[in-house]
Amino acid sequence: MTKLFSTLIVALGLSVAGEAAAQITDINAAVNKAGRERMLSQRMAKAYFQLGMQVDAERSRKILDNSIAVFDRQLVELKNYSPTAEIKDTYLKLEKAWLAYKDVLLGSAPSPANGKKVLELSEEVLSLAHQGTVQLEKHSGTTAARLVNIAGRQRMLSQRLAKFYQAGAWGVADATSTAEMEKAKKDFLAGHQELAAAPVNTQPIKDGLGLVNQQWIFFEAAINQKAGGDKRLPTNVATTSERILEEMEGVVGLYEKALGK
């Protein structure tokens, strides 16, 4: 782990926390934060599994704690912003599912038994977070909101891939994990292709997508390694998943700002 990369991860945590603390001012910002909740649902599970395996433990603990704090703050904002009763109801349901998820994440030291619960609850929270994001996108009815949603979903898919890999490495994966991981990989590639073809892309967005494509090469190589007793393999997934997340966060922000004008 280089000092530069350590700095980048700290910067990512601070940038996400900073954006989460800012109030929602328009629908594109709402879609971005709603999409970030999807990503965090997967990132927290990934970090929990890494802690269970003692993989990059100090950084994994920081990622988990930061992600929980950001999820909490954004959920309050999204509930308050909800433009319709239907969307508000989704976030009330998400709040209930989140409380159960957070209780397992923080209730005791990571264990394989709780790891299986984390895997299950992360899926429930993801489903509701995705529902809220889609509802906000439809409420907007704009191409801009759709692109922010798709770009935001790429963040989630990067963490979802890492989550399933680490679940397998720790021995807490379920019967559907392998198939879900393959589906997430295909969805990520399809999403990247759609974003790359978007006619509204500015040069900074094109540059950002180019960096994501470069990071995907390293990330894909990491998740294609068969998990075993060698801790270097899940460590590679831990670090590369954060790199690609950082680049995708930048791209989503570019879409939100460029298309929110």
The residue extents of the domains of the chain are 3-259
What was the pLDDT predicted at 199? 92
Q: Which residue has the tokens 């970090």?
A: 47
On the 0-12 / 13-18 / 19+ scale of CB atoms within 10 A, 183 is: middle
Average pLDDT over residues 164-189: 96
Give the residue with greater pLDDT, 228 vs 237: 237
Amino acid found at 250: G
Average pLDDT over residues 20-48: 88
pLDDT at 29 over 70: yes
What was the pLDDT predicted at 229? 72
Average pLDDT over residues 232-255: 94
State how far the alpha carbon of 232 is from the alpha carbons of 98, 168, 218, in Å: 32, 14, 14
What was the pLDDT predicted at 8? 44
Q: Which residue has the tokens 């990330």?
A: 219
CB 19 within 8 A of CB 253: yes
**What are the two backbone dihedrals, phi and then psi, of residue 54, each rounded to the nearest 5 degrees?**
60, 45
On the 0-12 / 13-18 / 19+ scale of CB atoms within 10 A, 95 is: middle
Q: What angle do CA 104, 110, 115 make, to 5 degrees?
A: 65
What was the pLDDT predicted at 244? 96
For the full predicted model, state whether its pTM sits above 0.85.
Answer: yes
Mean pLDDT across the chain, nearest whole number? 90
